[in-house]
């Protein structure tokens, strides 16, 4: 068992910047500092309306991310041209329709199998590791394997919602999903609403977990604790 890596999603830094205009706070400086403070990677999710991360940010960040650069998004033509140009270490495919507030569903890997196979083939030919944002359904996980993806990212909103009332019940579907992923040879990432309150328990119960991507909760906690302390606190949850 290896300790899961922490990738810090800096979308919220871009949201704050865009609310005022200019370049304060800087997403580039945030990425540099997060890595200095111990982050194992930087995650961004550029959307077509550029309401937080802008396409130019992707290019500005590439030279400063020396850990792991993870770019999330829906693989339309613009997104694919961008990631094939930038070549991050990982691309996480998310089935977001335009204008959605935040990612709120995993891929139907059966219905979209041929589309995903083509996209993943193009990414892997460019030397980019791929991950598919997915829910805990065993059929979808097995079908994900057939697309050629390297990993899946388990969509953890339901876990976060259920955790306060019954953490054992909340984690149970994810434990089973992780077993299926291991059986078929898929790496396991996770993300969405993971926090200081629920991350440690999740990591303890998913020993095959490779990476978590955390943005909203981590950046919110950084307001109170500072970014350096917050990154360390999240890393401690993964020990």
Query: Where along the chain do its domains lie?
Result: 5-237
Pairing state of beta strands 129-134 and 90-93?
A: parallel
Q: Is 192 annotated as catalytic?
A: yes
Share of the chain above pLDDT 70, in %: 96
d(CA 189, CA 213): 8
pLDDT on residue 104? 62
d(CA 99, CA 185): 34
Average pLDDT score, the chain: 95
Mean pLDDT over residues 163-173, rounded? 98
- Reported as type and span, the H/E element at residue 11 is helix 11-20
The closest of 201, 203, 202, 197 to 233, measured between CA atoms, is: 197
Mean pLDDT over residues 201-214, rounded? 97
Of 72, 135, 153, 211, catalytic: 72
* Per-residue pLDDT band at 105 (split at 50, 70, 90): confident
Of 52, 153, 192, 211, catalytic: 192
Of 45, 52, 68, 153, catalytic: 45
Class of domain 5-237: alpha beta
Q: Is 52 annotated as catalytic?
A: no
pLDDT (tens digit, 9 = 90+) per residue, 12-71?
A: 999 999 999 899 999 999 999 999 999 999 999 999 889 999 999 999 999 999 999 999
pLDDT on residue 101? 47
Answer yes or no: is pLDDT of 135 > 80. yes
Q: Is 72 annotated as catalytic?
A: yes
The closest of 156, 43, 50 to 91, measured between CA atoms, is: 43
pLDDT on residue 142? 98
Answer yes or no: is pLDDT of 100 > 60. no
């Amino acid at each position: 068992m290896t300790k899961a890596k922490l990738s810090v999603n800096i979308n919220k830094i871009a949201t704050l910047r865009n609310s005022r205009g200019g370049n304060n706070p800087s997403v580039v400086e945030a990425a540099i500092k997060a890595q200095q403070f111990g982050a194992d990677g930087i995650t961004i999710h550029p959307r077509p309306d550029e309401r937080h991360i802008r396409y130019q940010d992707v290019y500005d960040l590439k030279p400063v991310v020396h850990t792991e650069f993870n770019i999330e998004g829906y693989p339309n033509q613009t997104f694919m041209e961008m990631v094939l140009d930038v070549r991050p270490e990982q691309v996480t495919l998310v089935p977001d329709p335009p204008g959605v507030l935040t990612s709120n569903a995993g891929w139907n890997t059966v219905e979209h199998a041929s589309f995903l196979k083509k996209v993943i083939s193009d990414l892997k030919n460019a030397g980019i590791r791929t991950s598919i944002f997915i829910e805990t359904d065993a059929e979808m996980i097995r079908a994900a394997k057939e697309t050629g993806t390297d990993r899946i990212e388990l969509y953890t909103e339901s876990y976060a919602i259920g955790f306060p009332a019954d953490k054992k019940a909340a984690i149970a579907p994810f434990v089973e999903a992780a077993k299926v992923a291991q059986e078929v040879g898929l790496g396991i990432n996770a993300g969405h609403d993971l926090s200081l309150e629920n991350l440690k328990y999740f990591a303890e119960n998913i020993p095959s977990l490779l990476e978590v991507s955390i943005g909203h909760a981590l950046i919110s906690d950084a307001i109170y604790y500072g970014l350096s302390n917050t990154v360390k606190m999240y890393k401690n949850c993964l020990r």
